[in-house]
Structure 1
Amino acid sequence: MCSKAIVQYTASSSHAINRYDVFVSFRGEDTRNNFTGFLFQALRRKAIHAFKDDEDLKKGESIAPELLHAIQTSRLFIVVFSKNYASSTWCLRELAEIRNCVQTSPRPVIPVFYDVDPSVVRKQSECYEKAFEEYEKRFREDKAKMEEAERWREALTEVANLSGWDLRNKPQYVQIEEIVQNVINTLGPKICSLPKDELVGIEHRLEELVGIERKLQSVNNVGVVGISGMGGIGKTTLARALYERIYHQYDFHCFIDDVSKIYRDSSSLGVQKQLISQSLNEKNLEISNTSEGTCLIWSRLHNVRALVVLDNVDEVEQLRMFTGKRDILLRECLGEGSIIIVVSRDEHILRTHGVDDIYQVQPLNNENAMQLFCRNAFKVNHILSDYEKLAWDVLYYAEGHPLAIEVIGSSLFGRNVSQWESALARLKEKKSKNIMDVLRISFDQLDEEDKEIFLDIACALCHYDEEYVTEVLKFRGFHPEYGLQVLLDKSLILKGRRCIYMHNLLKDLGRYIVKEESPKEPLKRSRLWDYQDFAKAMSNNQTTEILEVVAVNSFASSKTVRVDGLSKIRQLKFLRLGNMNCSGSLSHLSSELGYLIWHNYPFECLPQSFQPHKLVMLKLRGSSIQRLWSGTKVLPNLKLLDLSDSKELGEMPDVAEALNLKEIVLEGCIRLRKLSPSIGLLSKLTILNLKNCQNLVSLPNSIVGLNSLEYLSVYGCSNLFNELLGEPSNTEHLKKLFSVEGPIHFHSRESVSCLLPSSLTLPCLRELDLRFCNLVEIPDAIGKLRCLEKLNLKGNNFVTLPNLKDLFRLYYLNLQHCKRLKYLPDLPSRTHLPLNLYSYPMQYFEGFIYKVTNEDECMAGLRMFNCPEIVEREQCTSMTFSWMLQMVQSWYNSECLTSLPSLKSLGSIIPGSEIPMWFNNELVSMDNSIIIDVSPFVYDNNWVGVVCCAILGEDLYRTRILEDSRRDLSVEHSDHMCLFYYSRQQFCHEQGIFRGKLNTHDLSLTFRLYDVVVLCAYMKDRDEGFYDFEVKKYGYRWVKKQDLQ
């Protein structure tokens, strides 16, 4: 069912093939029915392949070819010396051949002395002496045979001198166990069913799985491990390799190949028989029912440690064969310390049966993928330079999928560059049937609705936000919460951070299946995604009731497509066209449309006949729309209206009948002068983005009734300032305002001063950005904005600031480049960091998400870089330090509640040249690095973080051309103090290993850990250029829980 996965192919093998693990040389009449018979059974139980001779082979004067071959192809030899061993010329000839093999190709030899003293064998005395006296009489006239007898003596002496077992000292069953264990240890782990030395990318996976196995063994219970992953990814190969690596540690073991096939052919009974046959070495079992089989397994295995691998399980019922209890599996039948390994494409099956750990097999990394590809495409371990770019094209397509790499690589072997190019072009169009057939197995097992969800994602929704995908699928009439989980369980889709995506090959599978609906006529398919197919469908200009989803982007083509045919697609539910030159006319659109997303929509309005009552999302970014429609349209389902960058839009549509509308985006609509008064009826509206609507002169009075509005952006609306001076009567739900962010930069001091007092009446304002406004005074009213969290006053000319001590939610204050500032105001006596710093609302951009807010949301602290006139620096340091500690305590409390860091960084930079006494050390920096010894605290659970203090001296300043030449950003030559806090959670991941890169807005500290954390410091200001600093000295202090109480 699975491919060879992580097995590489080679043209020829340079190593000898070992047919047998062990060759046992013994005298049959002495030991066949006792010791040697028991030894063979013990070896077989441990899956050690031992050669067992046939008496018919031991006839004649010379060794039979079969016997000779068995000796030559064995990995280890066991020689059982008994009283009559030397009286058999066959035994002695075997021993001489073993000696020859060891001399030419060294291999282990284990002597066992059954009922004879080792010295008798070594010296050929007593019974061995009598045997050789007889040979000397027989061979006296034959010189060659006399020389052969002498070689027998030498072989006996050499082997008897080796370390071995004298069976007269202990019970035989004890020594048999010791011998078998010695064989296992000597041979070492083997992968006998897989090509030796031809496995790529498997070793680190085996180490991870062995670690899981050992962890489960340590609990003295029956452990169950699941191995899961998409088809052809290498699950079976990995399971087989793990089995071969660890089987010898168990009393009984079995590997059941392709459980699903056995189950289909002979039900649960067939699987049980396989288990019993392999584990107990019993053949031709007569088991009448599964209950009888379960009892037999329990009676034989419940007191022993067993290893059981069940490969390719694809239904829940297949694991209910040994017990009726769904979540117990084989646990009740096996002894403590046993391990069950279940291989399945479906994680749901594994979870249903209560596996302890699931190992998800990942694609090969680039290095291993290239190695596997080279062995298949070139039959060597390196790439040929002429093919390098093409080879990387293959690997990009295969995305580390071993089966695809193997199949494609083998098909390209021996072909020239032009043939490679042709083959890859064909592959993109027609796909490989061998690969698609393997992947399709999982698809064919899906219910019909889940198949449709899979095809929608493959053709239109791959790499889109999960919430967006879910909404689209719901509109399509599906049940995505359940269906998406089914696809995740079967490894048919993947979930990233808020994003649904799938492997390239699975996306190709979905599109391959849809193309099969009508290979020649795209208009007769259910979905279209390919530009050429779309153009062909439009050229037919025929009516269709089949096509429901069109999602086409054309990044490469400059051709123009006539889209008249869209008017005749009657059941179209989802339309997304991007980066496409379109022409023609559009007389109608399907009334079934729920999602209309058309970048650069080329027409002046939507078709008048269009009835958008089912429309959920309307996005016409960069369109030629002048007005959407005349009058009012009934839009009960519309949630998002995005006409951004529609530069010809002169008026906003009437939205009186769109009462479920949540987001309106009119950014960049430069001709828009006013909004429709109907906007005031939108009680559910949360986002109104009017950014860069340069000619917008007024907002309707009804806007004050938008009780759900959280975000209002009027950045760049330079003609709107007079309107903003009116005081809103209801701003209770207005959580953030960008209105003063952009236009202020380009207005006079007087206009800003007029704006400030009225803006400051907003009781829920969270962020105020007044950068580079040339302000000489800040009104006291700022100190009354109780909801303010971020205040940016960078680059202004004021001397003092109002009291800020009542701003308990303030966590970011930027005063950089305020060169006339002399006094730092009182800072909040306590600070409550919001627990939901990462939960700002998101907007859709073609399904991809972007933040409404700016990039620095998760930064906290005080920024006072380049404030040269500041006085009372000790007091400044004290207040800054106290405020920092308040935020550290709040941060720690938020981590305790959320188990996640609330902030990306917490740091301050202020003028200063001395390390405060609070830090318990002062160190001189070497190479501008900050070195923190963490070894005393690695295993100490009492610490919550570390505060660092560094004195930075300006070393180099590089300026760059600025858009606003009026800014004077020269840097005064003075030292600065940087204070930074890093929490325990930032330092550590789950295993307590330190790693990573930590950034703040102004200073990036990069570290790595061996016995210390090495922090290399530099400062980067995003607005003005780059400042590189000399780290003069530094100190740090570990913050413990008691420090925050």
Structure 2
Amino acid sequence: MASSSSSDWEFDVFLSFRGTDTRNTFTGHLNTALKSKGIRTFIDDKELRRGEDISSTLFTTIEKSRCSTVVLSECYATSKWCLEELVKMLECKTTIKQRVVPIFYHVDPSDVRGQGGSFGQALDAHKKNLKIEEKQLQRWSAALTEVGNLSGWDLGNKSEAQLILDIVADISKYLNCASSNNAQNLVGVDSCIKESESVLCFESTDVRMIGICGMSGIGKTALARSIYERFSDKFEGCCFLTNVGNVEREGTDYWKKDLLSSVLKDNDIDVTITSIKTRLGSKKVLIVVDNVSHQLTMKTLIGKHDWFGPQSRIIITTRNKRFLSGMDAMYEVQKLQDDKVVELFNHCAFRKDHPAESFERFSLRFIAYAQGLPLALEVLGSSLYKKDQDYWKSKLDELEKTLDKEIQGVLQKSFDELNDNEKDIFLDIACFFKCSNKDHIMKILESCNLFPGSGIENLIDRFLITFSCEKLEMHDLLQKMGWKIVTQTSKEPGKRGRLWMQDHICHVLEKNTGTKEVKGIFLNLFGLKEIHFTTEAFARMNRLRLLKVYESNLSDDSDSESTSRKRKCKMRFSDDFEFHSDELRYLYWHEYPLQTLPSHFKPKNLVCLCMPYSQITELWKGSQVCENLKFLDLSNSKFLMETPDFSRITNLEALVLDGCTNLCHLHSSLGRLRKLAFLSVSNCIKLRDFPAIYELVSVQTLDLSGCSNLQKFPDISQHMPCLSKLYLDGTAITEIPASIAYASELVLLDLTNCKELKFLPSSIAKLTLLRILTLSGCSKLGKFQQNSGNLDRLVELKADGSTIRQPPSSRAVLRNHKASA
């Protein structure tokens, strides 16, 4: 939620009075009483009155106040300053519906409206001043008449103390009502307040500390302010500490004193813990501490529950969820939903509920750009107010290239609070790895010594990234913020740490301007006709750790063959091309056009090597020391005939060779990869033999589907405790070895269209965790072995297109199966 105006009220009450009459008496006491209820008052400093000319700043202050209270004392009209204030307040009453509350302090209302008594005498005195024009006198007289006719407060026979209590109660009621009526200007605030009430638990007598959290610009402060204004009259003392993020600069004692003086209305404050507990321990208080950015603030400023009286509520707003671990409850502010997004943008851009028809198309683009972030909707909408279509279009073009400066400033506060390690992780994700698998990213970043285990969790806690469906996500505007931070490091792209914009990368490669500062390059070739890769261009980029070359006009890369055929960019290489970087951790090159990796390439630090649809015939000569390599993907490399020697790639976790249609030989060392968890060689139609499985003790998924010439599945020589999915569909195997029993954790076995398969071994009965067994199209497969009926976990058996007419003999244990025999 957020205000639909670019600026909120700065004050609740503007106090107008004659200082010599009431500053240290009635008006001073009224000001104290209002503040004790959390009402923001403006009372001018007498030191500011250096002359009798009212300042434009004071006029602006009146305009930014919700209501004005005029203390009409005997000498009020003697001040030209007071009379000018009165004229301005009554003008705001007409133009912006500001409430004006007159207080007739020891004066008769009839003297005010008729300019009798001291008011008449004051105006007569002004007439004698030759510097005052007649028009000005007439304005003052009209203002006195108008305010004298307003319903107000008269001291009468009341005590001043009682009158002040009545006035404060009346103003509190008005402000709460105004806040409620103004909810339409705080789009989405009503629903948020209702949700937050459940965690505030006003009916509970306990002291409760509540955290409000969310990303920068999401509306945390707006919600906290709305709660404060709506419920402050229920408390004996209130305080709203704005933006305490500067606690390190100003010190916690400064903020403690501010808090205590606001709640207790006493500037002579001892800020020791004992004093705080003594002064606040019996009071029911509402305290909001806004924008906490340091853990120290939590410990020293708001302390513990026993600092405050029963039914007190302490509200903390922060961009860091981790700070709220000790809170009684937490409320996370979410981005605005569709209807509220449209409502807020229209309020800001058009000052009405719907856009002009001619602007509707542009409005939708701005709304999509903001992605539900109130800050962006407010800033952009307000900047477009009363602008023509040409300006709107120009602004959209500008936003495609850069982030609005005001939005950047707010969002970057979260980034600036990170340590150097976390900044590197954030920028890598923003520039290269948004929407990528978390585990995959962590392994790459870990190899770069960036400690992603704690770093990524801290970024999530700070709402800079999110984790959903195994992927790391990021708000588009946060990503744009990251891009801008990188581009601001240098005007020369070759001196920046990360390159992802096509024109910048082409400039670096063509002009050979790369430097050791470049740590990552992600080049999308889409739209390029030709590009030349030279050894010289990479020569000085000797700290390059991330390199990706691909071609896609989609938001996610497409590795499909149909997309590949449409690509037009020609990649040309200098003779004896080299990367000149031993620091590479991640190398992804779609359609790599060379037959092998560069001869001097040293993959000792490489963690991920992905070259789908490549022209590679041989990855490298002999064996390479690749102790850090965990992912190897050569899928659809149709010229690859044999795999490399894996004997020195001991930490490999995933191997993908799908669609390598000329692959004939898998190196025998493959069977010794103890850490391999995923192995897929599907549709390798020339593969006839699979190496002996010696030590694949970590394999979870083994996919040999579509290997139509594979006639034998190897014996399993020892227990395979992790294998849960085995795909042999479409192979030419004639039997399943009895050693399949070693795969005791197998959950899925797919033998679809194994047309040469004649029988299943009796040992299959030992696969007690098997849930899905697919035998469809196994036309030569006979009945189950008589003693193969202990598959008590089986829930799905498919055997259509086979000769099987009944499931295993022990039908009772298959009561949950869905057979399609």
TM value normalised by structure 2: 0.77
Q: Which residue of 1 aligns with 2:531?
A: 561
Q: Which moved more, 1:613-622 or 1:177-186?
A: 177-186
1:343 to 307, 317, 320: 317
1:431 maps to: 403
Give 1:442 deviation, angstroms: 2.3
Structure 1's 436 and 8: CA in aligned 2 closer, same or farther, altered over 3 A?
A: same
- In structure 2, the CA distance between the partners of 1:438 and 1:343, relative to structure 1 (3 Å rule), is same
Within 2, Cα distance between the matches of 1:534 and 1:37? 66
Q: 5, 29, 39: which one pairs with 1:9?
A: 5
Is the CA contact 1:704–1:731 (under 8 Å) kept in the aligned structure 2? no
The AA in structure 1 aligned to 2:500 is W
Give the letter for the 2:191 counterpart. H
* Residue equivalent to 1:1019: none
Please state how far the C-alpha of 1:225 moved relative to its aligned partner: 1.3
The counterpart of 2:657, out of the listed 651, 662, 666, is: 666
The answer for the alignment partner of 2:271 in structure 1 is 290
Structure 1 residues 329 and 418: CA distance shift in structure 2, 3 A: same
Letter in 1 for 2:641: G
User: Residue 277 of structure 1 aligns to which amino acid in structure 2?
Assistant: S
Aligned pair in 2 of structure 1 residues 488, 634: CA closer, same or farther (>3 Å)? same
The answer to whether the 8 Å contact 1:21/1:75 transfers is no
Q: Is the Cα–Cα contact under 8 Å of residues 223 and 338 in structure 1 kept in the other structure? A: yes
Aligned to 2:69: 51
Secondary structure of the corresponding residue to residue 369 of structure 1: helix
Q: Could you tell me which of 335, 353, 362 is aligned with 1:363? A: 335
Structure number with greater Rg is 1
Aligned-residue CA RMSD in angstroms?
4.5
CA, structure 1 residues 689+301, in 2 after alignment: closer, same or farther (shift >3 Å)? same
Say whether the 8 Å CA contact 1:576–1:596 is kept in structure 2: yes
Task: After TM superposition, give the deviation of residue 795 of structure 1 in Å.
Answer: 7.0
Shift of 1:594: 1.6
Does structure 2 retain, via aligned residues, the 8 Å contact 1:376–1:406?
yes
Q: Which residue of 2 aligns with 1:225?
A: 210
Q: State how far apart, in whole Å, the 1-side matches of 2:730 and 2:394 are.
A: 53
Closer/same/farther in 2, CA of residues 526 and 828 from structure 1, 3 Å limit: farther
Residue 552 of structure 1: aligned partner? 523
Correspondent of 2:483 among 496, 511, 522: 511
Residue 327 (structure 2) pairs with residue 308 (structure 1): no
The offset of 1:824, in angstroms, is 6.3
Q: 1:172 to 1:517 in 2, by over 3 A?
A: closer
Indicate if the aligned counterparts of 2:213 and 2:317 stay in contact, CA closer than 8 A: yes
Once the two structures are superposed, residues 521-567 of structure 1 have per-residue CA deviations (whole angstroms, 9 ceiling, x without a partner) of: 2111111111221111111135622211112334x424322222235
Residues 810 and 828 of structure 1 are in contact (CA less than 8 Å); yes or no, is this contact kept in structure 2?
A: no
Taking a change above 3 Å as real, the CA distance of residues 371 and 804 of structure 1, as seen in their structure-2 partners, is farther
Could you tell me how far apart the structure 2 residues matched to 1:91 and 1:270 are? Answer: 48
Q: Say yes or no: does 1:714 pair with 2:701.
A: no
- Counterpart residue number, 1:268: 252
Distance 1:609 1:804 in 2: 58
Which of 244, 261, 278 is the equivalent residue of 1:299?
A: 278
Amino acid at match of 1:200: V
Out of 242, 252, 260, the residue aligned to residue 257 of structure 1 is: 242
2:627 equivalent in structure 1: 636
Q: What is the CA distance between 1:495 and its match in structure 2?
A: 2.3
Distance 1:249 1:460 in 2: 51
Bigger drift between 792-801 and 508-517 goes to: 792-801
User: What is residue 585 of structure 2 aligned with on the other side?
Assistant: 594
1:468 Cα deviation from its structure 2 partner? 1.9
- How far is the alpha carbon of 1:303 from its aligned partner? 0.9
Q: Residue 786 in 1 paired to residue 770 in 2?
A: no
Does 1:584 find its partner at 2:607? no
1:514-529 matches, within 5 Å, as: 514-519=486-491, 521-529=492-500
1:368-407 matches, within 5 Å, as 368-407=340-379
Question: Which secondary structure does the structure 2 equivalent of 1:400 belong to?
Answer: coil
Q: What code does the residue aligned with 1:426 have?
A: E
1:802 Cα offset (Å): 6.2
Instruction: Tell me which residue corresponds to 1:970.
Output: none
Shift, 1:783, TM fit = 6.3
Alpha carbons of structure 1 residues 502 and 693: separation in structure 2 relative to 1, 3 Å: same
| 1:718 aligned counterpart, secondary structure | coil
Q: 1:356 to 1:801 in 2, by over 3 A?
A: same
Letter in 2 for 1:233: I
Deviation at 1:380, TM superposition (A): 3.0
**1:429 positional shift:** 1.6
Structure 1 Cα separation of the partners of residues 764 and 249 of structure 2: 79
Cα deviation, 1:740-780, whole Å, max 9, x if unaligned, reads 32347xxxxxxx7x436769766535433345678999768
2:367 is paired with a residue of what secondary structure?
helix
> For residue 660 of structure 1, what is the amino acid of its counterpart?
N
Q: 1:46 Cα deviation (Å)?
A: 2.5
List per-residue Cα deviations over 1:860-895 (Å, max 9, x = no partner).
943257x7xxxxxxxxxxxxxxxxxxxxxxxxxxxx
2:557 matched residue in structure 1:
none
In the TM superposition, residue 830 of structure 1 has moved relative to its aligned partner by 6.0
1:941-961 superposed Cα distances (whole Å, 9 cap, x missing partner): xxxxxxxxxxxxxxxxxxxxx
Question: Using the alignment, how far apart are the partners of 1:442 and 1:182 within structure 2?
Answer: 41
Q: Give the aligned residue type for 1:350.
A: L
- Counterpart of 1:540? 511
User: How many equivalent residue pairs?
Assistant: 726
Deviations 1:117-164 (A, max 9, x none): xxxxxxxxxxxxxxxxxxxxxxxxxxxxxxxxxxx9x999xx99xxxx
Instruction: Report the secondary structure of 1:53's partner residue.
Output: strand
Counterpart CA distance in 2 for 1:357 and 1:336 is 17
Q: Cα deviation per residue 1:883-922 (whole Å; 9 max; x = unaligned)?
A: xxxxxxxxxxxxxxxxxxxxxxxxxxxxxxxxxxxxxxxx
State the Cα deviation string for residues 586-640 of structure 1 (Å, max 9, x = none). Answer: 6212111121111111111100111111112211111111111112212122222
Other-structure match for 1:203:
190
Structure 1 counterpart SS, 2:291: coil
Alpha-carbon distance in structure 2 between the residues aligned to 1:190 and 1:339: 23
Counterparts in 2 of 1:664 and 1:20: CA distance versus 1, 3 Å:
closer
C-alpha distance 567-678 of structure 1, shift in aligned 2 (>3 A): farther
Task: Give the deviation of 1:305 after TM superposition.
Answer: 0.6
CA distance in 2, matches of 1:76, 1:432: 39
Structure 2: distance between partners of 1:56 and 1:603: 96
Residue 288 of structure 2 contacts residue 315 of structure 2 at CA under 8 Å; is this kept in 1?
yes
After superposition, the Cα gap between the structure-2 partners of 1:596 and 1:75, relative to the gap in structure 1 and judged at 3 Å, is: same
Residue 316 (structure 1) shift: 2.5
| 1:408-447 map, 5 Å | 408-447=380-419
Alignment counterpart, residue 755 of structure 1, candidates 735, 744, 747: 735
Contact 2:240 2:287 survives alignment (8 Å): yes
**What letter is aligned with 2:261?**
S
| Alignment partner, residue 886 of structure 1 | none
**Contact (CA 8 Å) 1:10, 1:375: kept in 2 or not?**
no
Contact residue 762 and residue 788 of structure 2 kept, 8 A: no
Shift of 1:396: 2.7
**Deviation per CA, 1:628-657, whole angstroms, max 9, x where unpaired?**
111221212222221111111122112222
Q: Tell me the amino acid that sits aligned with residue 340 of structure 1.
A: I
Alignment of 1:468-507 (within 5 A): 468-507=440-479
- How far 1:720 sits from its partner (Å)? 0.9
Q: Which amino acid aligns with 2:817?
A: L
Query: 8 Å contact 1:226–1:350 — kept in the other structure?
Result: yes
Q: Which residue does 2:109 correspond to in 1?
A: 90
TM-score (norm 1): 0.61
SS in 2 for 1:583: strand
**Matches of 2:402 and 2:221, distance apart in 1:** 28
Are the equivalent residues in 1 in contact too, given 2:629–2:651 (CA < 8 A)?
yes
Cα shift at 1:572: 1.0
Q: In 1, Cα distance between the equivalents of 2:210 and 2:767? A: 54
1:422 to 1:89, Cα distance in 2 relative to 1, 3 A: closer
Counterpart of 1:550 in 2: which secondary structure?
A: strand
- Aligned to 1:720, the other structure's residue is in SS state coil
Identity of aligned residues (%): 28
State the AA in 2 paired with 1:245.
R
Distance, in Å, in 1 between the alignment partners of 2:291 and 2:378 is: 21
1:414 Cα deviation (Å)? 4.2
Q: In the superposition, relative to structure 1, how do residues 19 and 737 fare at CA in structure 2: closer, same or farther (>3 Å)?
A: closer
Letter aligned with residue 233 of structure 2: H
Distance 1:64 1:414, change over 3 A: closer
The Cα offsets for residues 234-274 of structure 1, whole Å up to 9 and x where unpaired, read as: 2222211111111111111111222234x466433322232
Classify the secondary structure of the residue corresponding to 1:768. Answer: strand
